Every structure is written in C-alpha cells, then in structure tokens.
Amino acid sequence: MTQGGKKKKRAANRSIMLAKKIIIKDGGTPQGIGSPSVYHAVIVIFLEFFAWGLLTAPTLVVLHETFPKHTFLMNGLIQGVKGLLSFLSAPLIGALSDVWGRKSFLLLTVFFTCAPIPLMKISPWWYFAVISVSGVFAVTFSVVFAYVADITQEHERSMAYGLVSATFAASLVTSPAIGAYLGRVYGDSLVVVLATAIALLDICFILVAVPESLPEKMRPASWGAPISWEQADPFASLKKVGQDSIVLLICITVFLSYLPEAGQYSSFFLYLRQIMGFSSESVAAFIAVLGILSIIAQTIVLSLLMRSIGNKNTILLGLGFQILQLAWYGFGSEPWMMWAAGAVAAMSSITFPAVSALVSRTADADQQGVVQGMITGIRGLCNGLGPALYGFIFYIFHVELNELPMPESPAGGSTVTQYHLQQNSIIPGPPFLFGACSVLLALLVALFIPEHTNLNLRSSNWKKHCGSHGHPHSPQAPAEAKEPLLQDTNV
C-alpha cells in the first residue's frame, strides 16, 4: 500500500472517531455512569471470570460425584458441546451487536454464561446441562472487544486489549485460591452463594453503570434491521484457508497446536485433582503460579525473544516448549513433575501471540481482518473438538475413578490415586502424549512458513470477503483487523 493510501486510511479513521465522539457528546447513548471507557469492559470481564474462578474446586468435586464412572469422558463432552456452540454463535452475536448495540449483548452473554452457577447445589445434572447449552452465549470476550473497538483509536487498541486480557488472567490468578480456602473452611455452599452474588453484581453493573458504546445515530431505528449474514457465518473465514499456501501453513500450525491446548484446559485441573492427588488448595496454587508465569512469558520474555531471535524462531521455540510440556504431563507420575511441567507450559504460551504478530506483520493492511478471522475460527473450532477428543482418549485408555478420593494423607496422596497410577504406570496421561505428537506435527509444518514474505491475498474474492465484514452500522473500518473472539477459555 502506498504512503498516500496509508495517510488516507489514517485520516478516515480519525474522522470516524471524531464523528463518534461528537455523537456521544450530543447525548446519543443510553444511561450509564460516565462516558464509555475501557474500564467498564475491564470490570465486566473481571467480575464474570472471578465468579467462575471461585467454583474451580467445587466444580471438580461435583463433576466426579455426578459422573463417577466416566468422569473425563463426560467432562470432555460437556466442554466440547459448549465450545462448538460458542464457535457457531460468536460471529452471529458479534454481527447483531453491530446493529443493536453492545450493552444489551453484554447483559445477555453475562446473564446466560453465569446462569448455571446457582444450579450447582440445586441440581448437578441441570448444572452441567445448562453449562453445555450456555455455550451459545459464552462469548463475552467477543462483545467486550467490540465495545473496546468502539471507544478507542487504532493505535490505542492493542494496549486496551492487553488490559482486558490481563484482567482476565488476574481474576483467575486470585479466585481459585479464594474459592478453595472458603470451601475448606465454610463449605462449598458458601462458595456457590458468593459466586452467584458476584455474577448478580456484574449484571447490575452492566444495567446501571455501563453506557452504550455504539452511538445511537450509528444504529438503525428498528430492531428489525438486516444484518450481514456472511459476517455471521462461522465457517466463512475457514472457506478461504486453502486460497494461499502461506495462510494454509499458518492455519494448520494453529490447528495442530491449539487442539491439544484446548483439550488440556478442559481436563487438566480435574486430572491433577483426581489422578495426581492434588488437594483443592494445590490446584488453586498451581493455577495462580501458572497464570503469573504466563503473564511474564507473554510480556517480558516474548518481547526479548522477538527482538533477539525473530518472529518465526519464537514460534518454533514456543512449540518446542509445548511438546516438552505435554510429554512431561503424559509420562509424569509425581506431583513435582506436574509443577515442573507447568513452568514449561508458561513458556509455551508465547506461541499464539507470536503467530498473531507474524500474521499482522506479513499480511497486507487491507487483509488483516480476513487472516486474523481465519485464525480465530480455527481456535474456536479447537475449543469444541479438543475437550471432546481428550475426554474420549481418557475413556478408551480407561483412565477413570470408581469412587471419590479418600481423605488425603499428610504426604498428599490417597489409595485411590496410587491404585490408578499403578494401573497406568507406563502412560499415566495418554491424551497429553497424543497432544505432544500433534504439536510435533505443528512444529514440522511451521518450519515451512516464510518469515519475511507478504501474503498474496489480493484476488477479487478476498477483497469481496473483506468488504462483507464491514457492516454499515459498525463503527469499525471494514478492513480493520478483528481481534480473536473466542477467548472464553474454561476454568
């Protein structure tokens, strides 16, 4: 793109932001406290995931009590259905929020995502059933990122998204430990009540304090206004994957590396609790330490690596750490091995930010949205397939528990755990070894990705696809890069 074209685009973005500020100043937004800001979005995210983080330990216990014979299989099916529904619904909810405004969809997603919480003590079966169905609305990050895009300029957006993601990580660093402590001292019922109260506080905050970010004059007068159905198609971006060899290589790398990661997130804390004999407090401490190390890895370490060894080599290094981590999880039979592998897991978290940076740097400015949308679609698909795959592998290798863990000994073990480690002494964690093989394939594919080649995506079909994602009522520029939408990783 020529310098003149870039200047015109920047001028157009400034004009859009000026128009939005004028409209907001003229009183075009519904009631709320103050003007729309990133801090409104940050509080919404923090409260929602803090509430769910409190339930980490109680959920693991209730899951095994409800499905004692096929715990891992049912956990994989529940999280898999939720992930697939999120993948299918995220583009539609995003498109509707472009037309009808963000506040109503923030309220909708938070309400239905948190709706299962009080059911944990009322009816565990309904609790897990509603969790599966709530995947249709479990896309709060999608709406929050759109909210942030409405109120920030392009050069401010990366920092704003980073603040939202850091808030999400901070909520999960603190809340599992708090929930485990309260559950041990006062019982799980109090934890469920507290989580429900925080979820209600989040809903009330949206109703009372969050102002609408999409200006009134940029929205249609009627709720019956049409939306872009191509934008709402979850498979629209995936259909374009094979049209460029470099994009194909990147997408295959993301699929093969994120599929085991998604499966691991859905089952690993249950694995620590039931198979490795971790206490609730140990699981909470593991989450906290891993979260802190991941934040350090994705900020300081990632920045140093990108400057010293380059983008592609950073991706390869991250994949190498992920292979080591998964293999260690797969063969590890002692708690200290899990802690050591967790430190390696934090280093492997640099892979996806490095992939996103590679795409952003090599793709043309007017095609960022298409390529980033493909990667988002791949990750969303993995969020559904990964948990189901891990649950199935646990099932076929008979990694199950036939009774609840016995009271822990001072050494932190139990007879049930020792029995199952003897049963599966060769391969304690089969799905993790499968994941290591998948990431090894991703590493081999990533070797063929050129680091300094522009992505040639200039065919008329690509242009048409880019244009279709710019909705007439959306404040974003049509070709603007869309941030990953399916970030609602399971606790």
Going by pLDDT thresholds of 50, 70 and 90, the confidence category of residue 193 is very high
**Residue 200 has what pLDDT?**
95
Length of the chain: 491
Residue matched to tokens 């808030």? 167
Dist. CA 161–CA 97, nearest whole Å: 18
Instruction: Report how far Cα 348 is from the mean position of its chain's Cα atoms.
Output: 16
Supply 182's token pair: 């309260």
Q: Is 101 left (phi over 0), alpha (psi -120 to 50) or beta?
A: left
Q: With beta carbons less than 8 A apart as the criterion, state whether 328 and 279 touch.
A: no
**Residue 424 φ then ψ, to 5°:** -125, 45
CA distances in angstroms from 431 to 297, 379, 390, 441, 488, listed in the order given: 25, 19, 6, 16, 22
pTM listed for this prediction: 0.69
Residue 92 and residue 97: Cα distance in Å, rounded?
A: 9
Closest CA to 56 of 200, 259, 185, 192: 192
Cα 72 from Cα 470, distance rounded (Å): 42
Domain membership flag for residue 11? no
140-151 vs 71-100: helix axis angle to the nearest 10?
30
SS (H, E, C) 62-78: HHHHHCCCCHHHHHHHH
Closest CA to 374 of 205, 234, 212: 234
Residues 440 and 434 sit within 8 Å (Cβ to Cβ): no
pLDDT of residue 452: 63
pLDDT at 27 over 70: no
State the pLDDT at residue 291: 82
Contacts of 467 (CB under 8 A, 6+ apart): 478
Greatest mean pLDDT among 265-269, 371-375, 411-415: 265-269
On whether the CB atoms of residues 453 and 362 are closer than 8 A, the answer is yes
CA distance 414 to 233: 49
Above 70 in pLDDT, residue 454? no
Asked if residue 244 belongs to a domain, the reply is yes
Q: Is 68 inside a domain boundary?
A: yes
Retrieve residue 408's tokens: 């822990």
d(CA 477, CA 466): 10
Does residue 228 fall inside a structural domain? no
* Cβ–Cβ < 8 Å for 458, 247: no
456 within domain boundaries: no
Rg (CA), the chain: 23
Helix and strand numbers (H, E) in the chain are: 20, 0
Number of compact structural domains in the chain: 1
How far is it, in rounded angstroms, from Cα 416 to Cα 3? 67
More confident residue, 215 or 393: 393
Residue 193 lies in a domain: yes
**Cα distance between residue 156 and residue 158, in whole Å:** 6
Q: Which residue, 157, 158, 197, is CA-closest to 50?
A: 197
Whichever domain contains 194, its CATH number is 1.20.1250.20
Q: Could you write out the DSSP letters of every residue in 248-298?
A: HHHHHHHHHHHHHHHHHHHHHHHHHHHTS---HHHHHHHHHHHHHHHHHII
Higher pLDDT, 140 or 202: 202
- Looking at this protein, which amino acid is placed at residue 153? Q
* Amino acid type, 160: A
pLDDT the model gives residue 216: 62
Between 275-284, 419-428, 443-452, 474-483, the lowest mean confidence (pLDDT) is in 474-483
* 3-state SS class at 426: coil
Is 48 a domain residue? yes
User: Mean pLDDT throughout 75-95?
Assistant: 83
For all residues of the chain together, what is the average pLDDT? Answer: 75
Convert the pLDDT of each residue in 292-337 to its tens digit: 888 888 778 888 888 898 888 999 999 999 999 999 988 887 888 8
Quick check: is 8 in a domain? Answer: no
**Would you state the pLDDT for residue 362?**
60
Domain of residue 199: give its range: 32-214+237-400+429-448
